[in-house]
Amino acid sequence: MPAQLAFETQSTWYEAQANRPPIGEPLKEVVETETCIVGAGLAGLYLAKELSERNRPALIVEARRVGLGASGRHGGFCGPGWALEAEKIEKHVGLEQAKTLFDLSLEGFHMVQEVLDSGEALMTPGILHPSTYHNAEDLLKNRDKMAKEYGYEVDYLETDAVRTMLDTSRYYQAYRDPKAFHFDALKLCLTLAEVLQKMGVPVYENSGMKEFHKTSMGWELTTEQGSVRCKQLVFCCGGYGGREFAKLRRAFLPITTYVIVTPPLGEKLKKTIQTSDGVSDERRAGNYYRIVDGDRLLWGGDITAFGEVHPERISQKMGKDFVEVYPQLANDLGSVPVEYSWSGLMGYARHLMPEIGPLDQGLWACTSFGGHGANTAPIGARLIAEAICLESERWRLFEAFGFPWNGGPFGPYVVESVYRKMQLGDHWRAIRSRW
Ligand SMILES: Cc1cc2nc3c(=O)[nH]c(=O)nc-3n(C[C@H](O)[C@H](O)[C@H](O)COP(=O)(O)OP(=O)(O)OC[C@H]3O[C@@H](n4cnc5c(N)ncnc54)[C@H](O)[C@@H]3O)c2cc1C
């Protein structure tokens, strides 16, 4: 079954905790507005907020429900940076523009903090990045470069200090970002939806865009039962966009990634992971995890271009790495106890940077934030709001990346082979460290 069809039926831990309002009426009439936003993930919700704060009319049409895409099911890690590593951004656009882009990513990070500060969703500070092989030299070099060139300070930890916090021999040195934090992904989306409701911004759920076309006024899109006429149309579809997005769909690939949450593990977990930090290992194809609900572990990772949606197979897939790192947390059968498992789609462009900018006159893309969208989708949204309000042309920072072809039918095979190669490299470095 294609991932797009099944993800709605997966039960996420976030949904189980959430207090969702009843489903609003879908769009059933012809409405006019200045800006129509397609998609109610972080990009769409923040864009509507930014426009509304500038007193500009906007509405959202969402195919399913607010935050049911990646934004309400992600790992909950938020820190500065982009899906593409800083050194690759530097290679592409030079150090000066890379620094400006880093500052933008930091601005997005603060946009999340600001909304969470005003609501009920808690932020737990601290993200630890342990290495799975001896890596002191690179970590120190990176720490110094971040401080000197980007003005951003992180801490360095020796292996002993890491192993005091995390009871596993898999990890060596680490760097720790004390300012980054983790939080409840869905709560942020629902908080934003509440803010929009108070501002009087319509959010039509179960109202997927079927088709769009140009008109003398600007654009018109149709949903199952209604249509929207607007001057500005913005696509915030993440990895969930289909053929209705025409040429934008040919510029990104939907990539699936996975999360599991254990049942309460009690003292066993507290002894094993003695930190409230989120942990994201330093491998290029690594795992991340954090304690939620006092004594459950939320564990995420792996990416596939041909998505798995079956909960049991997701549990098996994720369980292998989990048990290798923390065998003491396995059950009597030697596997991971799992209460929730789910998958989600991320939109990735070939260059791994977001696709932010005009597709046509009054038609915008604000998408493809990859696996680093918690902070970058909000700032992407701000840039589009600034462009619509003729406040700035900061979106031009992304012109250097553009909307390259996603590789068509070959794209998924390329992604799979690159990712498996990265996994092999990670594995090899870890093995060499143990010799
Ligand atoms: C499992 C998982 C874990 C992740 N972990 C992290 C993390 O820890 N930290 C981090 O920074 N990033 C993480 N990410 C990435 C991050 O979640 C995304 O980059 C970000 O949420 C993208 O936001 P978005 O608004 O662009 O897309 P989405 O949140 O996917 O929203 C797109 C919306 O568009 C809607 N849509 C699609 N087509 C239509 C249509 N035709 N009409 C109307 N609506 C439509 C969809 O239903 C969806 O609601 C993770 C992603 C996943 C899947």
Q: What is the mean pLDDT of residues 207-232?
A: 97
Say yes or no: CB of residue 40 within 6 Å of ligand 1.
Answer: yes
What b/e string do you get for 78-90 counting C-beta neighbours within 10 Å, with b at 16 or more? bbbbbbbebeebb
3 vs 21, residue with greater confidence: 21
Residue with tokens 């690759």: 88
pLDDT for res 3: 47
For residue 10, give the DSSP letter.
S
Q: What is the mean pLDDT of the chain?
A: 92
Say yes or no: CB of residue 236 within 6 Å of ligand 1.
Answer: yes
pLDDT for res 308: 74
Per-residue pLDDT of 161-183, as tens digits, reads 999 999 999 999 999 999 999 99
Contacts of 286 (CB under 8 A, 6+ apart): 132, 280, 301, 426
Residue type, 242: G
Q: What is the mean pLDDT of residues 350-371?
A: 97
Tokens read off for 233: 């149309």
What b/e string do you get for 41-63 counting C-beta neighbours within 10 Å, with b at 16 or more? bbbbbbbbbbbbeeebbbbbbbb
Say yes or no: CB of residue 50 within 6 Å of ligand 1.
Answer: no
pLDDT for res 9: 67
Pick from 248-257, 279-288, 303-312, 381-390: least confident: 303-312
Domains of the chain by range and CATH? Answer: 3-434 (3.50.50.60)
Per-residue pLDDT of 96-145, as tens digits, reads 999 999 999 999 999 999 999 887 668 999 999 999 999 899 999 999 99
Pocket test for ligand 1, best of 237, 259, 353, 382 (most atoms within 8 A of CB): 237
The alpha carbon of 381 and the centre of ligand 1 are apart by a number of angstroms equal to 13
Q: What is the mean pLDDT of residues 346-356?
A: 96
Ligand 1: nearest atom to the Cα of 256: 53
Residue 305 has pLDDT above 90, yes or no: no
Residue 2 has pLDDT above 70, yes or no: no
Residue type, 377: A
Contacts of 30 (CB under 8 A, 6+ apart): 226, 227, 228, 229
Cα–Cα nearest to 193, from 75, 28, 376, 42: 42
Q: What is the mean pLDDT of residues 271-284?
A: 92
Q: What is the mean pLDDT of residues 259-264?
A: 95
Q: Is-contact 210 18, C-beta < 8 A?
A: no
Round the CA-based radius of gyration of the chain to a whole number and report it: 21
The alpha carbon of 214 and the centre of ligand 1 are apart by a number of angstroms equal to 27
The pLDDT confidence band at residue 302, using thresholds 50, 70 and 90, is: confident
